[in-house]
Structure 1
Amino acid sequence: MSKKHKHAEHEEHADETWLIPYADLLTLLLALFIVLYAMSSVDAKKFEDMSKAFNIAFSSGKGILDQSAVVTNANQMNVIDQTKPNSDGNQTMSERQRQRKAESLRQKEQQQLEKLKRQLDQYIRNNGLTAQLKTQLNQSQLLITISNTALFDSGSADIKQESRKLATTIGAMLEAYPGYEISVAGHTDNQPIHTAEFPSNYELSAKRAINFMSILLASGHLDPKLISPTGYGEFRPIATNATAAGRAKNRRVEISIIRKYTDAAATETLTVAAEQ
């Protein structure tokens, strides 16, 4: 009777070795579903992170009864899901704020330069100087071009007495718009000059630029650090030097009010005609 009882207990004991591969299979399926879920809204960075998590799950050697590796990977993915959008969102917001600020500054500068141009154009019309002065507003600067005949005698760098008022008036207008870098450039035609004072057109054009700049600074309200004179001689013509009319156009002084804020992506210049 005792032997039969022991034999029955032995027969009722089931073989549980199948639990090991079954637990491993469930572990792999769980890791696979986690990866598939994460890939439903994946980007390149998240895919790389999910791939690492997937590799860890496969190489961890843990079964269903010990899920620490899977739980750790799931926590890592939760951290990625929670921090990545916020990080991108903060960067995007910061970039948008910088773009809006830059655009606001460009618009304000555009309005200032357009206002200054209107004032100059009004002065030119009121004083009958349309043949001698012109203004142009483009993407990089507000350019004021003055014919040399309005400022200097031939071969001289001394500003005519009657023209000093013009330079003074331009300087007074610029005082209302501080902070802009200003370039004063002298240009000549290609007719050679060789005197004790001016060995070449370089010296003549540079001296004319310096003399005009000196009048701009005479009031003491413009920042000397922001103004620079340059002499280009005959090497930046805007017309042909083969005719008298062309040479007259090339003899000029240019005052450039340089923009502080420019749009590097712009493909079209903001050109405003001198006469509107």
Structure 2
Amino acid sequence: MARRKRKEKHEEHVDESWLIPYADLLTLLLALFIVLFAMSSIDANKFQMMARAFNSTFVGGTGVLEYPSPTPDGEMEQLDMTKTEQKQESEQEIEKLKEAEKKIREYIDKKGLNDKLKTSLTDEGLLITINNDILFESGSIFVRNRDEDLAKEISQLLVMEPPRSIIVSGHTDNIPIKNAQFESNWELSVMRAVEFMKLLLTNPSLSPELFSAKGYGEFRPISDNGTKLGRQKNRRVEILILPLVQKQQPV
């Protein structure tokens, strides 16, 4: 009788063996969602690290992440090499622009033009700033005859090997202009940039297809238009020498 009671008690025990595969399933689903999240960030390096980590964890059977990576190892190595090469090329280009800047500064010192010409290395490239007062008469777009030689000498400084793209931009102060030729400072700045660029391109060593001109009028001041000195600084022509290797935008 006692033996029968024990048997009935055993039959009433709930079978919980199903919990093991259920827990495994939940774990796999969690891993899947983590992987999907990692893929959505489009970071191949992180994806590979997670894949290896999960495959080493879920041993005993086919790994949950045992399928081709979106970026195979060989391609990832090639990508890393490409990035390294691009960085090296960018650093080399910066050094070349520094050499060009040094040559231009030597010319400025030799000619005693430190108060008229400035150079600076910016995120965009090598920038040469020329005060309008040494190039143009007030309200005129044509370089003065006595300053044409200066423009031509500057053109020699722009000859580089290999050639770089160059942007010439015109700028004015905020004093309004309106005459029979121009209705705004914007138009005046555009035409000054074009005329100065045309003078630079009389140098046969420069390639016209690498040049472009822009006009910003009074809308990009570098000094306070409330003072005479500030307005004088804002009246300028800028020459931007672009690097051969452009900066990569973050993904």
Q: Please indicate, yes or no, whether the TM-score normalized by the shorter chain is above 0.5.
A: yes
Q: Is the 8 A contact 1:185 1:206 kept in 2?
A: yes
**1:187 aligned partner:** 171
Q: Is the 8 A contact 1:187 1:250 kept in 2?
A: yes
Query: In structure 2, what residue type is equivalent to 1:162?
Result: R
The share of aligned pairs that are identical, in percent, is 37
The verdict on how the C-alpha distance between 1:94 and 1:197 changes in structure 2, with shifts beyond 3 A counting, is same
Aligned length: 200
**1:224 aligned partner:** 208
Which one of 215, 240, 246 corresponds to residue 224 of structure 2?
Answer: 240
Q: Is the 8 A contact 1:135 1:142 kept in 2?
A: yes
TM-score normalised to structure 2 length: 0.71
SS in 1 for 2:206: coil
Matches within 5 A, 1:1-276: 44-46=50-52, 47=54, 54=61, 87-88=72-73, 90-264=74-248
Q: Is the 8 A contact 1:186 1:233 kept in 2?
A: yes
For the residues of structure 1 that align with 2:161 and 2:127, how far apart are their CA atoms?
15
The verdict on how the C-alpha distance between 1:198 and 1:182 changes in structure 2, with shifts beyond 3 A counting, is same
For the residues of structure 1 that align with 2:114 and 2:245, how far apart are their CA atoms?
29
**1:15 aligned partner:** none
Residue 50 of structure 1 deviates from its aligned partner by 8.4
Query: In structure 2, what residue type is equivalent to 1:133?
Result: L
For the residues of structure 1 that align with 2:191 and 2:49, how far apart are their CA atoms?
63
The verdict on how the C-alpha distance between 1:44 and 1:127 changes in structure 2, with shifts beyond 3 A counting, is closer
Residue 202 of structure 1 deviates from its aligned partner by 1.2
Q: Deviations over 1:148-172 (max 9, x none)?
A: 1110111111101121122212211
Give RMSD over aligned pairs: 3.0
Query: In structure 2, what residue type is equivalent to 1:215?
Result: L
Residue 261 of structure 1 deviates from its aligned partner by 2.1
SS in 2 for 1:152: coil
The runs of 5 or more residues in structure 2 that have no matched partner are 1-47
TM-score normalised to structure 1 length: 0.65
Residue 43 of structure 1 deviates from its aligned partner by 5.6
Query: In structure 2, what residue type is equivalent to 1:134?
Result: K
Q: Deviations over 1:218-271 (max 9, x none)?
A: 1232222221111111111111111111110110000001123244589xxxxx
Residue 142 of structure 1 deviates from its aligned partner by 0.4
Name segments (4+ residues, structure 1) moved above 6 Å: none
Structure with max Cα Rg: 1
For the residues of structure 2 that align with 1:100 and 1:51, how far apart are their CA atoms?
35
Residue 95 of structure 1 deviates from its aligned partner by 2.3
Residue 139 of structure 1 deviates from its aligned partner by 2.5
Q: Larger deviation: 96-105 or 241-250?
A: 96-105
Residue 197 of structure 1 deviates from its aligned partner by 1.2
SS in 2 for 1:191: coil
The verdict on how the C-alpha distance between 1:51 and 1:174 changes in structure 2, with shifts beyond 3 A counting, is same
For the residues of structure 2 that align with 1:126 and 1:210, how far apart are their CA atoms?
27
